[in-house]
Structure 1
């Protein structure tokens, strides 16, 4: 039985939205843990807002909310992809095993980096504020 192209054409934008929503929620939790203490992560107890980790928390909180809504998806996802690349090379690869993220606890950073890079090109999908607005800014593009 051959795949039905109409099925994929109909469901691809919806599944893209699910990928965006779930990824944004998981990412947003990192920001709320750092800045709001929810969920509580002991290593963030004495977080200084004016630090790399504090800046990361702001990007994760604001960017996570924007991605969750699908608002300015492409530029936001591009910035967050860069943040995760930076986080990987500064915080994980420097532990001596740059090519093996499993050994330097960098798997999440790598995965977020590439999911966000994909979203920066693909857009937010069918269930995004960007799709409802129907307007494309020069940075946003269609979708």
Structure 2
């Protein structure tokens, strides 16, 4: 892989990490604060399964956005989404288009990918040297 391709691959992975982190953070914000009003499921009890998920979503999403502890945060969030899918979506129907689990599946595999590939460019992990520059070697 050329240097130019590697640079753009790192930037694209960073964009995926940041956007996925922001979306996940937003899900946690809804569950912890009820913001924005009208979003489902709304504010939940902190001492519940949904509350624990909300904390993971808010903290993990924030860590992913800045790229700090990206791999372990992404791995934990991937597991949360696998659990969410099989506990809450799959029992309703086998088909994700019917059970509403599309986002949970996508988040699960995006986070699994990031836990293996690393945060990409523009991350605190890269600045402090806890993430390799690139997993792909020429």
Q: Deviation per CA, 1:47-83, whole angstroms, max 9, x where unpaired?
A: 2111111111010000010001100000010000000
User: Which residue does the alignment assign to 2:29?
Assistant: 32
* Larger Cα-atom Rg: 1
Hey, which bits of structure 1, 4+ residues long, moved more than 4 A?
none
User: SS of the counterpart of 2:41?
Assistant: helix
- TM-score, L = length of structure 2: 0.90
Residue 142 of structure 1 is matched in structure 2 by 132
Distance in 2, matches of 1:43 and 1:131, equals 35
8 Å CA contact 2:30–2:40 kept in 1: the answer is no
Q: Secondary structure at the match of 1:38?
A: coil
Residue in 1 aligned with 2:128?
Answer: 133
Match of 1:104 among 89, 99, 102: 99
* Per-residue Cα deviation, 1:68-106 (whole angstroms, up to 9, x for no partner): 110000001000000000000001001132xx2111000
Equivalent position of 2:76 in the other structure: 79
Q: Which runs of 5+ in 2 are unaligned?
A: 134-138
- Given the two structures, how large is their TM-score scaled by the length of structure 1? 0.87
CA distance in 2, matches of 1:43, 1:18: 27
CA distance in 2, matches of 1:42, 1:111: 19
The offset of 1:42, in angstroms, is: 5.3
